[in-house]
Chain A
Amino acid sequence: MQVIGGGTIKTISTDKIISEVAKLCADSNYYLGKDVVEALEKGRKKEISPVGINIFDQIIENAGIAAKNHVPICQDTGVAVVFLELGQDLKIEGGDLYEAINQGVRRGYQEGYLRKSIVNHPFLRVNTGDNTPAVIHLKMVAGENLKIIVAPKGGGSENMSAIKMLKPSAGIEGVKEFVIETIVNAGADPCPPIIVGIGIGGNFEKCALLAKEALLREVGKPNIIPDIALLEKDLLNNINSLGIGPQGLGGIVTALGVNIEIFPCHIASLPVAVNINCHAARHKEIIL
């Protein structure tokens, strides 16, 4: 705490942020969230394909081995996606916040024995060697806390994600059609059973961010808006009727959950983004 003009201002050092980000990078890659483990166990019970059941068994056993031995669940330890909710009354001391996040990622990926998967340029493609830069989303909020969420995202499922600017007349049926088309096109590649994050509304970039944020919500926890919760349920049923199944080898559990976030949009627009997550849906957070 610093005393300024009679009031006090909470401060956090960049050193603290660096060490917390490093720990979140390793932890998120080693320890699958309880909600995902439960969703996998539920999926295992529901699946009727023998091949699919065997795949569920391997995935569940794998999560146990990773947690016990403190090793990555998947060798693709992803792009480090970092969401920050910065309280407007908080003061950061000791340097640049973005540099601190990248320093934390650098340390976490090095000391955590995580794979470095970032190349410096879309065409030159030289590995940066430390998994930086992270993709950072900063949101200013009320209060004096800093919430940090680290959500490593693998290439396989990210590559199968898609966005479309629909006409408003396409309505809910148009949205459903685009989501199903995206999942069918993705097939086996995003490592099903998947979790589907969907953003509807906003504009082009807002919609994509909504889809990513939807993946941070607990699997199986419905949207608080009843008609959106119903759409989530409908889409989950439709996706699981496609037959794609675990690893795309056939089955009735293609997705473990569908999470939708919505936002107001322009009178002319109906943007939809589908961000697919593999079954290793990883994210860990801390509030400082």
Chain B
Amino acid sequence: MSPIRLMTPLKNEDIEKLKAGQAVLISGLIYTARDAAHKKLVNLLEEGKPLPIELKGQIIYYVGPSPAKPGQIIGSAGPTTSGRMDSYTPQLIELGLKGMIGKGKRDARVIKSMEENNAVYFVAVGGAAALIAKSITKCRVVAYPELGAEAIHELFVEDFPVLVANDIFGGDLFKEGIEQYKNKNLS
């Protein structure tokens, strides 16, 4: 399937045309956050305080990059396991978060929240960190610098290669892929 291009921020029309398995090249601004930053964001929400970033229409990329070498924009920057963010994600989706990029499955609550609020889950190739870094054109820390690699970074990306793993129609690439190739190994 040939990839389609998407620009952030994402609109409902963008989300509605995405089906599980679709290859997508993402361009524009995206935010990074891992476990520690998610915990801080959700704590702020629970205290009724404003967040340091605007999530409406945005994408969060689950990544903790390695340090940039002199001359590099960012170090290696592949996705981390998304499941660790599951307990925090529905609250962010309810605020208007439209997409997440990570690796591995999401739990039922996250999938339900995506379907109800028009959001999608993309996967990037775990471990393809030096390759992915090439699609990042700008990087700056916008919140929680004390978290180091886990700080929230604002990234500008150009043609960041991802696949739609969960769409809003119940499509799930993990389930479908495994069903399709189960017992097909003949050697």
Residues of A in contact with B (beta carbons under 8 Å apart): 46, 48-49, 51-52, 54-55, 58-59, 61-62, 65-66, 69, 71-77, 113-117, 125, 127, 129, 155-156, 159, 187-189, 191, 237, 240-245, 247-252, 278-280
Q: B183 contacts A62, CB within 8 Å?
A: no
Residues of B within 8 A of A244 (CB): 178
By size class, the interface of chain B is: 35 or more
Residues of B within 8 A of A242 (CB): 178, 182
A276 vs B134: C-alpha distance when bound (angstroms): 28
A100 vs B150: C-alpha distance when bound (angstroms): 28
- The answer to whether B26 has its CB under 8 Å from any CB of chain A is no
The A-contacting residues of B in range 123-146, CB under 8 angstroms, are: 123, 125-131, 133-134
Residues of B within 8 A of A74 (CB): 76, 78, 126-127, 129
Look across to chain B and name the residue whose beta carbon is closest to the beta carbon of A160: B81
- The answer to whether B65 has its CB under 8 Å from any CB of chain A is yes
Residues of B within 8 A of A49 (CB): 177, 180-181
B131, B133, B134, B178: the one contacting A243 at CB < 8 Å is B178
Q: Which of B10-18, B51-59, B66-74, B111-119 contacts its partner?
A: B66-74
A279 vs B148: C-alpha distance when bound (angstroms): 26
Residues of B within 8 A of A188 (CB): 103-105, 174
Residues of A within 8 A of B165 (CB): 249
A167 vs B149: C-alpha distance when bound (angstroms): 44
Q: B69 contacts A113, CB within 8 Å?
A: yes
Q: B177 contacts A245, CB within 8 Å?
A: yes
B65, B75, B123, B187: the one contacting A46 at CB < 8 Å is B187
Q: B179 contacts A243, CB within 8 Å?
A: yes
